[in-house]
A and B are shown apart, each in its own frame.
Chain A
Amino acid sequence: MTDVWTPPYPEPGSANDAAFIGIGEIPSGVYRERGFMAQIVEASARAIQDARLAHTDIDQIVLIPCLHGIPDQADLIFSRVAEELGLHGRVKSSVMVHSGGSTSDNATRMAAGLIASGQARNVLVVYSERWGSADLQAMIDMLSVNGIPKEWEAPTGLQFNAIGGLITQRYMHRSGSSAAEMAAICVALRDWANLNPNAMYYEKKLTVEKIVNSKMISDPIHAFECPFLADGAGAFVMTSATEAARKHDAWVRIGGSGGCVSHYSAGQDADLGVLGWVKAAEEAYQAASWGPEDADLGEVYDSYAAVLAIALEGLAISPEGEAAREFHKGRFSPGGQFPLNTNGGLLSAGHTGVGGGTALLIEGVRQLLHRAGPDRQVPNAQRCIVGGTGGSYMDAQIMMLERVTR
Chain B
Amino acid sequence: MSVTNVLRDGGYIQNAEELTGPFGAALAEGKLIVQRCLDCSALIMYPKYRCPTCFSGNLGWHQVSGAGTLATFTILRYGPPSSFDVEAPYCIGIVKLDEGPQLMCRMHPGSDGTWDHYVCEQRVNFVPADAAEVAERPAAWFSAALG
Find out whether the CB atom of B138 lies under 8 angstroms from the CB atom of A155: yes
Which A residue sits closest to B20, measured CB to CB?
A: A151
Interface residues of B in 93-117 (CB under 8 A from A): 93-94, 102-106
Report the bound CA distance from A138 to B103 in whole Å: 27
Find out whether the CB atom of A173 lies under 8 angstroms from the CB atom of B120: yes
Report the bound CA distance from A169 to B92 in whole Å: 12
* B49 contacts partner chain A, Cβ-Cβ < 8 Å: no
Interface string of B73-86 (1 = CB under 8 A from A): 11111111111101
Count of chain A residues near B, Cβ 8 A: 38
Given A215-B78, A219-B75, 8 more A-B residue pairs with CB atoms under 8 Å apart are A137-B82, A151-B16, A157-B76, A157-B137, A173-B120, A217-B78, A266-B104, A272-B94
Also in contact, A155 and B72, with CB within 8 A (given A161-B79, A173-B119, A217-B78) = no
* A16 contacts partner chain B, Cβ-Cβ < 8 Å: no
User: Of B45, B72, B77, B106, which is within 8 A of A268 by CB?
Assistant: B45
B residues near A215, Cβ cutoff 8 Å: 77-78
Report the bound CA distance from A265 to B101 in whole Å: 13
Also in contact, A268 and B102, with CB within 8 A (given A141-B82, A152-B46, A156-B92) = yes
Find out whether the CB atom of B76 lies under 8 angstroms from the CB atom of A161: yes
* B127 contacts partner chain A, Cβ-Cβ < 8 Å: no
* A140 contacts partner chain B, Cβ-Cβ < 8 Å: yes
Find out whether the CB atom of A272 lies under 8 angstroms from the CB atom of B72: yes
A residues near B16, Cβ cutoff 8 Å: 151
B residues near A167, Cβ cutoff 8 Å: 72
User: What are 26 A-B pairs with beta-carbon distances under 8 A?
Assistant: A137-B82, A141-B81, A151-B20, A154-B81, A154-B83, A155-B139, A156-B92, A156-B105, A156-B106, A156-B139, A157-B90, A157-B92, A157-B137, A158-B104, A162-B74, A165-B74, A166-B72, A166-B94, A169-B72, A173-B120, A173-B121, A217-B76, A218-B77, A221-B74, A267-B94, A267-B103
Report the bound CA distance from A137 to B81 in whole Å: 8
Find out whether the CB atom of A159 lies under 8 angstroms from the CB atom of B80: yes
Min distance, Cβ B141 to any Cβ of chain A, angstroms = 9
Min distance, Cβ B103 to any Cβ of chain A, angstroms = 6
* A149 contacts partner chain B, Cβ-Cβ < 8 Å: yes
B residues near A166, Cβ cutoff 8 Å: 72-74, 92-94
Find out whether the CB atom of B94 lies under 8 angstroms from the CB atom of A151: no
Which A residue sits closest to B27, measured CB to CB?
A: A155
Report the bound CA distance from A169 to B94 in whole Å: 11
A residues near B102, Cβ cutoff 8 Å: 267-268
Report the bound CA distance from A149 to B48 in whole Å: 13
User: Of B76, B86, B94, B103, which is within 8 A of A159 by CB?
Assistant: B76
Interface string of A151-186 (1 = CB under 8 A from B): 111111111011001111110010000000000000
Min distance, Cβ A100 to any Cβ of chain B, angstroms = 18
Interface residues of A in 276-329 (CB under 8 A from B): none
Min distance, Cβ B88 to any Cβ of chain A, angstroms = 8
Report the bound CA distance from A137 to B80 in whole Å: 9
A residues near B71, Cβ cutoff 8 Å: 170, 271-272
Report the bound CA distance from A157 to B76 in whole Å: 9
B residues near A140, Cβ cutoff 8 Å: 79, 81-82
User: Of B45, B73, B137, which is within 8 A of A169 by CB?
Assistant: B73
Find out whether the CB atom of A169 lies under 8 angstroms from the CB atom of B74: yes
Which B residue sits closest to A266, measured CB to CB?
A: B104
Find out whether the CB atom of A152 lies under 8 angstroms from the CB atom of B103: yes
B residues near A219, Cβ cutoff 8 Å: 74-75, 77
Interface string of B57-83 (1 = CB under 8 A from A): 000000000000001111111111111
Also in contact, A151 and B105, with CB within 8 A (given A156-B139, A217-B77) = no
Interface string of B24-60 (1 = CB under 8 A from A): 0000000000000000000001100000000000000
Report the bound CA distance from A297 to B119 in whole Å: 36
Also in contact, A151 and B46, with CB within 8 A (given A156-B104, A267-B94) = yes
B residues near A155, Cβ cutoff 8 Å: 137-139
Which B residue sits closest to A165, measured CB to CB?
A: B74
**Chain B CB within 10 A, most for which of A141, A152, A217:** A152
Report the bound CA distance from A27 to B75 in whole Å: 34
Also in contact, A144 and B120, with CB within 8 A (given A165-B76, A169-B72) = no
Report the bound CA distance from A402 to B70 in whole Å: 43
* A74 contacts partner chain B, Cβ-Cβ < 8 Å: no
B residues near A145, Cβ cutoff 8 Å: 81
B residues near A159, Cβ cutoff 8 Å: 76, 79-81
Interface string of A42-78 (1 = CB under 8 A from B): 0000000000000000000000000000000000000
* A216 contacts partner chain B, Cβ-Cβ < 8 Å: yes
